[in-house]
Copies of this chain bind each other. A is one copy, B any other.
Amino acid sequence: MNIGIVGLGLIGGSMGLDLKALGHQVLGVSRRESTCKRAIELGVVDRAFVDFSLLSAADLVVVCTPIGAIAPTVQQLIPHLSSDAILTDVGSVKGAIIEQVSLLWPNFVGGHPMAGKAESGIEVAEFGLFANRPYVITPTKNTPPTAVLMVEEMARSLNANVFRCDPEEHDRAVAWISHLPAMASASLVAACMRETNWDVLKLAQNLASSGFRDTSRVGGGNPELGLMMAKYNRGELLRSLLSYRDCLDEFIGRIENEDWDGLFEDLQDTNHARPLFVKD
């Protein structure tokens, strides 16, 4: 199969490595000449070009750009696609993207491979990045079933764990486990910086250790990513944030009222609930 990849960063590059190894003809498009050259050198693609014309031969095109660039990219891409080409993306928010893109190209299937690492860019692309990681496919009632099956098959060929759900379910689930943690974590760093006693602030900075490191990590991450989550998943993120504030208020209430039995029960509940989400 001829598979096009638009955007040759960590995700697009890693996908290319796997798909090429599976015997597909992989066609890459990047805005930068230097990235195209590097993609060929690294064996990430068979051919690469700065122009979409290369993708007229593609049966499937995976758009691997940042969220904000997905719809504009598809718009520019359309004149070059063969009429039965199937499109998918890798954006971490689905509802808002699908709403825009499916109007432009009905043969579009939303996708979200949940793999990544701290670094980004083609230089850190790697084989097997998606293996044993979730890959969510989010068809709507209007998505052509053949397109869904092709994207699902591609995801499975990467050895990913494929989940299929509505775009709304996806966006609500990732609000809980990804976008809410980012905002709760950012609020932690922001709150600590409000300490007005300089000696205490310096001491806190000196004493901060693994607990603070872990809890603050996603909130201290890439600001553009945080902004995109909030912009494109605003409704679900707000819903989760308001629920989070309610829980926080309950914890504050327990402590204000010295309701130690209640606090202990709450902490026991979270201690029991966390392993339902993550193992260690």
Give residues in A with beta carbon < 8 Å to B: 114, 133-134, 136, 161, 163, 165, 169-170, 172-174, 176-178, 180-195, 197, 199-200, 203-209, 211-224, 226-227, 230-231, 234, 237-238, 240-252, 254-256, 258, 260, 263-264, 266-271, 273-278, 280
Contacts and interface: CB of A to CB of B under 8 A. Distances in A.
Residue among A161, A205, A207, A244 with the most chain B CB within 10 A? Answer: A207
A274 B216 CA distance: 7
Nearest to A118: B280
B195 A191 contact: no
A177 B209 contact: yes
Nearest to A242: B252
Contact of A238 (B218, B255, B266): B255
Contacts of A161: 206
Nearest to A185: B215
A184 B215 contact: yes
Contacts of A220: 270-271, 273-275
A38 B186 CA distance: 45
Contacts of A217: 211, 214-215, 274
Residue among A234, A248, A269 with the most chain B CB within 10 A? Answer: A248
A278 B180 CA distance: 22
A161 B205 CA distance: 14
Given A189-B270, A217-B214, A241 B245 contact: no
Nearest to A195: B176
Copies per assembly: 2
Contacts of A178: 207, 209, 211-212
B215 A200 contact: no
A8 B77 CA distance: 68
Contact of A191 (B187, B224, B243): B243
A207 B138 CA distance: 14
Nearest to A199: B169
B266 A203 contact: no
Contact of A136 (B169, B181, B195, B207): B207
B187 A244 contact: yes
Nearest to A259: B230
Contact of A271 (B188, B194, B211, B223): B223
A207 B92 CA distance: 12
A264 B184 CA distance: 15
A259 to B, nearest CB: 10
B134 A207 contact: yes
A95 to B, nearest CB: 13
Given A181-B216, A184-B188, A213-B277, 15 more contacts: A163-B206, A176-B195, A182-B211, A183-B251, A184-B215, A186-B266, A188-B244, A190-B247, A190-B251, A193-B270, A208-B278, A220-B274, A221-B271, A230-B263, A241-B251
